[in-house]
Amino acid sequence: KAGVTQTPRYLIKTRGQQVTLSCSPISGHRSVSWYQQTPGQGLQFLFEYFSETQRNKGNFPGRFSGRQFSNSRSEMNVSTLELGDSALYLCASSLASSTDTQYFGPGTRLTVL
Amino acid sequence: GENVEQHPSTLSVQEGDSAVIKCTYSDSASNYFPWYKQELGKRPQLIIDIRSNVGEKKDQRIAVTLNKTAKHFSLHITETQPEDSAVYFCAASIQFTGNQFYFGTGTSLTVIP
């Protein structure tokens, strides 16, 4: 079974631009979560999508948004990029509930200049 | 919201010794606690988890203990090996509310041969 994939793997953007990241979950997984990983803050939860609906949301500003498609693939968008948005963005997929094992993707490394 | 604290941030042990990583959480409603291992440049992977109705769980050299009253849980690795060197993250969530995980800031474990 193919693992979680994320595209692109690396991105360089400038302040004020917007960016869209993509995540393809493991086949059959309906839950996709997004995390921001930085050296000082660790992994911070952005949001979770399940069956095309946002089921949970972390404490990030409205510039961070996401969506999920009927095939469970998910995208997250960051508008008006700031220097502090530079991070590794990880998505994770699971079957459905929080006690199903989450499988992480390789991440997208975003650098904002 | 939930706050998860993790200690120590770095840990060095001699090969064959034990390593212990501790986490505390603030929300008494949290009832599911997974641990992830992230090797350098790789994605986090689940290594063990525990639910709040269990006090201890073991899987070969790895064990996790949970004290609900004190709201802390710990990861124990015995007979450490160089391949155990990685960053370990604890997390907490509330079962049946979807995948909203609160992560600790990570412990960088180095096993010295």
pLDDT of residue B84: 97
Size of interface A-B (CB pairs under 8 A): 72
Residues of chain B with C-beta less than 8 angstroms from the C-beta of A92: 99
Look up residue B91 and give its two tokens.
């997390």
pLDDT for residue A97 is more than 90: no
On whether any CB of chain B is under 8 Å from the CB of A50, the answer is yes
Is B99 close to A41, i.e. CB distance below 8 A?
no
A25 to chain B, any CB pair closer than 8 A? The answer is: no
| Predicted local distance difference test score (pLDDT) of residue B73 | 97
> Cα(A94)–Cα(A22) distance, rounded to whole angstroms?
16
Mean pLDDT to the nearest integer, B64-90: 96
At residue A50, what are phi and psi to the nearest 5 degrees? -145, 125
- Write out pLDDT tens, residues B24-72: 999 998 989 999 999 998 999 999 999 888 899 999 999 999 999 999 9
**For residues A78 and A85, is the Cβ–Cβ distance under 8 A?**
yes
> Of B46, B89, B97, which has the smallest distance from its Cβ to A43's Cβ?
B89
Q: What is the pLDDT of residue B54?
A: 83
**pLDDT tens digit sequence for A1-29:** 689 999 999 999 999 999 999 999 999 99
pLDDT (tens digit, 9 = 90+) per residue, A43-86?
Answer: 999 999 999 999 989 999 999 999 999 999 999 999 999 999 99
In angstroms, rounded to a whole number, what is the distance separating the alpha carbons of residues A89 and A106?
9
Which of B33, B48, B99 is the best residue to mutate to test the A interface, defined by the most A CB atoms within 10 Å of its own CB?
A: B99
Task: Tell me, yes or no, if A101 comes closer than 8 A to chain B by beta carbon.
Answer: yes
Residue in A39, A27, A50 with CA at minimum distance from that of residue A103: A27
A50 vs B contacts (CB less than 8 Å): 98-99
- Interface contact A59, partner B, CB < 8 A: yes
Asked if A79 contacts A18 with a C-beta cutoff of 8 angstroms, the reply is yes
Compute how many other C-beta atoms are within 10 angstroms of the C-beta atom of residue A16. Answer: 10
* Chain A residues whose beta carbon lies within 8 Å of the beta carbon of residue B105: 40-42
